[in-house]
């Protein structure tokens, strides 16, 4: 009995901490803000003359039936990001895409080195402060789950587990299915 109460208290503390950390982020139901993007690796860009964040998400969602996009904001100097990014693949399913946004960097090379050091295999967008401001990112890592209509469905900041992200993605799908 005591173990169950302690586990419940720990879960409640984690929920309260998550709510407090994400208090300044965009609310659920808000359209994802748009801004021009630059890819770290130009080969990841499906359009020859650049895209906005919305166009990038829409272009990459075409191969998904019920697309969910995980927009993950990180900084190359963030040690928690380095630990959490390799586990993001475990949270994704075949209908979920990941777009990472590098923020607070000085040189492209530091982003490239960080991404290469963890063998990150997803598109990386370089932010020039426009996305950071419009997405209201004030700490790393931060992430948004976005539905097929470009609406933010979930926002959080700080370390999360792949299981926690996977559960949030499944909850989004369940909410869509229930209508």
Model pLDDT for residues 112-150, shown as the tens digit of each residue: 999 999 999 888 989 888 888 889 998 899 999 998 888
Q: Which of 146, 112, 115 is nearest to 27 (CA)?
A: 146
Q: Which of 44, 28, 40, 163 is nearest to 109 (CA)?
A: 40
Q: 6 lies in which domain range? A: 2-178
What six digits make up the tokens of 154? 């979930």
Q: Kindly report the CATH number assigned to the domain that includes residue 116.
A: 3.40.30.10
Q: How far apart are alpha carbons 174 and 165 in whole angstroms?
A: 14
Q: Which of 55, 75, 84, 69 is nearest to 132 (CA)?
A: 75
Q: What pLDDT was estimated at residue 2?
A: 82
The domain total for the chain is: 1
Model pLDDT for residues 64-78, shown as the tens digit of each residue: 556 788 999 999 999
CA distances 102 to 1, 144, 172, Å, are 45, 14, 25
Beta bridge partners of 51: 37
CA distances 64 to 43, 44, 49, Å, are 20, 17, 24
Which of the pair, 51 or 165, is modelled with greater confidence? 165
How many helices (H) and strands (E) the chain has is answered by 7, 7
Mention every residue, 6+ apart, whose C-beta is less than 8 A from residue 112: 40
What is the average pLDDT score of the chain?
82
What six digits make up the tokens of 110? 């530091």
Q: What pLDDT was estimated at residue 109?
A: 93
Q: What's the whole-model pTM score?
A: 0.80
57, pLDDT greater than 80:
no
Beta bridge partners of 155: 144
Q: Given pLDDT bands bounded at 50, 70 and 90, which one contains residue 3?
A: confident
Q: Given pLDDT bands bounded at 50, 70 and 90, which one contains residue 22?
A: low
Please count the residues of the chain: 179
59, pLDDT greater than 70:
no
Q: Given pLDDT bands bounded at 50, 70 and 90, which one contains residue 7?
A: confident
């Amino acid at each position: 009995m005591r173990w169950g109460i302690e586990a419940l208290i720990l879960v409640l503390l984690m929920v309260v901490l998550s709510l407090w950390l994400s208090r300044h982020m965009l609310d659920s139901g808000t359209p994802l803000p748009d801004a021009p993007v630059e890819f770290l690796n130009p080969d990841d860009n499906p359009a020859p003359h650049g895209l906005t964040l919305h166009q990038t998400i829409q272009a990459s969602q075409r191969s998904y039936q019920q697309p969910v996009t995980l927009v993950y904001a990180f900084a190359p100097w963030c040690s928690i990001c380095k630990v959490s990014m390799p586990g993001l693949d475990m949270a994704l399913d075949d209908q979920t895409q990941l777009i990472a946004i590098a923020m607070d960097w000085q040189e492209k090379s530091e982003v490239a080195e960080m991404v290469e050091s963890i063998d990150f295999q997803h598109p990386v967008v370089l932010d020039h402060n426009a996305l950071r401001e419009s997405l209201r990112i004030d700490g790393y890592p931060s992430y948004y789950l976005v539905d097929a209509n470009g609406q933010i469905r979930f926002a959080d900041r700080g370390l999360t587990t792949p299981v926690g992200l996977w559960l949030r993605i499944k909850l989004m799908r369940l909410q869509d299915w229930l209508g």
